[in-house]
Amino acid sequence: MRFLEFTRIVVKALLRVFLGVGLIILAGAILLGKLKCLINSSLNLGIFVSIFLMVYLHEVGHYIPLRHRKIDVKREGIGIRISTTPPVPPSAIFLSALLPLLVAVGFSLIFKNWIFIVLWLAVGAMTLIDAVEVI
């Protein structure tokens, strides 16, 4: 599978989830009368964008070591399943944790807030789940 085809499938699946969550957050802010507070903080947008990028790069971390194999990418619930023939190289697990860490560190330095490192721990949990499924 080519990288652009992989990206199209992954981004399409992620956008559905993130746009849905974004609309729920926006509706909640309007109902609570906190829309101005939501919009005025650049940290709120930074958190939303960083989560999207971390999840995307988590999937890219799986793709890079598997790019020369036949892989199948499917949306499964709110997640994405990448199927290939065994054995799966350990680098597919390591890269899926390390690439999002770059985003977390970058956003932490830009916003001077450690919340992005905490959010990366959630991506780390996704990596552990993937590792357990593969082993």
Q: What is the pLDDT of residues 92-107, one digit of tens each?
A: 999 999 999 999 999 9
What pLDDT is recorded for position 133? 83
Nearest Cα to Cα of residue 48 among 71, 76, 80, 15: 15
Given a contact cutoff of 8 angstroms between Cβ atoms, the answer to whether 60 and 34 are in contact is no
Residues facing residue 75 across a β-bridge: 80
Residue 89, C-beta contacts closer than 8 angstroms, at least 6 positions apart:
65, 66
61 has pLDDT over 80: yes
Question: What is the value of pTM for the model shown?
Answer: 0.89
